[in-house]
């Protein structure tokens, strides 16, 4: 069990590390084409990473060890999330099941690592980004937990793999009203958590509207590379989780070469689909004012709460 899980976790980490930058490249490319630009090609994020890793990092006087350690902490937390989540398969370590609360708390470790990077240099923009980032993170938390709680009710467990496996065996569950409401709420939460439109604009060049970009303004070289790769991995893992919950087909329930290959192809296809769809929707959206974001999140929380209520009603009928 554990050996199989170790193989699966390794595969998930490797596949996500390779695919996540390409996913970001694809989303940028889709956006560029829809806006009538040529775009840089889907390999551009990878070229950026290679360039950043080869550059000399600059560190301002007065910054502490946080500026060096936090990018690594973010990357490790993102990789750990990739290893734990049911992306390619549902086989888990016996002692470390992919319990929802554990996964979320590991993600939050990465969240605070970036927030501390923003504060470390003591510049106004960093503090501003960090403050907004944490406000959004604090308000997203209830939606995430309540929506996955709704998904966990029919299964009776908060372990993500078991939820995905149950949906694989009984696809009727996916289309149940409670499940759809919960997935919709979770999508809003994922959009907010990964800093996509309409919550944050990843392509903005205006510091005053930045959230994520404002925090990493001071980082350079490999620090910036780790911060970027870490957040791309989060995007890949969370979109992967969404697609595993929405279309679980193709995911491996045991570890073998063919099963893993099928799962990898399926995951890449799902990620490409979800990513392209998200990018296409983003083109038609404008970033909302920061103080309208709580309204969006409150709406998603209501959906998640309705999902919980609905699942009790459905069980009873």
Q: Which of 83, 49, 73, 66 is nearest to 222 (CA)?
A: 49
Residue 234 binds other proteins (CB under 8 A): no
Q: How many residues bind other proteins (CB under 8 A)?
A: 89
Instruction: Using alpha carbons, list the distances in angstroms from residue 132 to 112, 113, 120, 238.
Output: 12, 14, 15, 21
Question: Given candidates 7, 40, 149, 246, which one binds other proteins under the rule CB under 8 A?
Answer: 149
Burial of 38 (0-12, 13-18, 19+ CB in 10 A): exposed
How far apart CA 296 and CA 314 sit, in angstroms, is: 27
How far apart CA 24 and CA 187 sit, in angstroms, is: 17
Q: Segment near other proteins (CB under 8 A), from 19-27, 127-135, 243-251, 260-268? A: 127-135
Q: Give the footprint of other proteins on residues 267-306 (CB under 8 A).
A: 290-291, 294, 301, 305
Residue 131 binds other proteins (CB under 8 A): yes
How far apart CA 15 and CA 22 sit, in angstroms, is: 11
Residue 145 binds other proteins (CB under 8 A): yes
Residue 96 binds other proteins (CB under 8 A): yes
Bond before 198 cis per omega within 30 degrees = yes
Residue 308 binds other proteins (CB under 8 A): yes
Residue 184 binds other proteins (CB under 8 A): no
**Considering beta carbons, is residue 29 or 219 the nearer one to other proteins?**
219
**Considering beta carbons, is residue 30 or 137 the nearer one to other proteins?**
137
**Considering beta carbons, is residue 37 or 292 the nearer one to other proteins?**
292
Q: Give the footprint of other proteins on residues 62-81 (CB under 8 A).
A: 62-66, 68, 72, 75-76, 79-80
What does residue 99 show for φ and ψ, rounded to 5 degrees? -60, 135
């Amino acid at each position: 069990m554990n050996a199989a899980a170790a193989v699966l976790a390794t595969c998930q980490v490797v596949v996500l590390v390779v695919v996540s930058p390409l996913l970001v490249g694809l989303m940028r490319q889709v956006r560029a084409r829809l806006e009538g630009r040529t775009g840089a090609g889907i390999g551009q994020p990878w070229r950026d990473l290679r360039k950043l890793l080869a550059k000399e990092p600059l560190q301002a006087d007065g910054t502490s060890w946080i500026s060096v350690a936090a990018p690594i902490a973010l990357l490790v937390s993102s990789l750990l999330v990739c290893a734990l989540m049911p992306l390619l398969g549902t086989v888990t370590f016996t002692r470390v099941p992919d319990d929802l609360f554990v996964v979320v708390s590991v993600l939050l470790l990465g969240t605070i690592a970036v927030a501390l990077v923003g504060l470390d240099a003591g510049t106004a923009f960093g503090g501003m980004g960090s403050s907004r980032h944490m406000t959004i993170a604090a308000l997203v938390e209830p939606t995430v937990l309540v929506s996955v709680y709704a998904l966990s009710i029919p299964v009776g467990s908060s372990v993500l793999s078991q939820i995905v496996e149950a949906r694989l065996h009984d696809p009727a569950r996916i289309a149940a009203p409670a499940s759809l409401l919960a997935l919709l709420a979770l999508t809003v939460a994922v959009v907010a958590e990964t800093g996509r439109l309409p919550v944050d604009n990843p392509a903005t060049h205006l510091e005053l509207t930045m959230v994520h970009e404002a925090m990493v303004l001071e980082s350079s070289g490999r620090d910036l590379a780790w911060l970027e790769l870490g957040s791309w991995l989060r995007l890949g893992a969370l979109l992967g989780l969404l697609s595993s919950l929405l279309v679980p087909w193709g995911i491996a329930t045991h570890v073998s070469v063919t099963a893993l290959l099928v799962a990898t192809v399926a995951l890449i296809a799902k990620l490409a689909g979800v990513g392209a769809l998200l990018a296409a929707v983003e083109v038609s959206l404008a970033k909302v004012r920061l103080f309208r974001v709580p309204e969006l999140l409150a709406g998603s929380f209501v959906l998640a709460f309705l999902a919980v209520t609905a699942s009790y009603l459905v069980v009873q009928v």
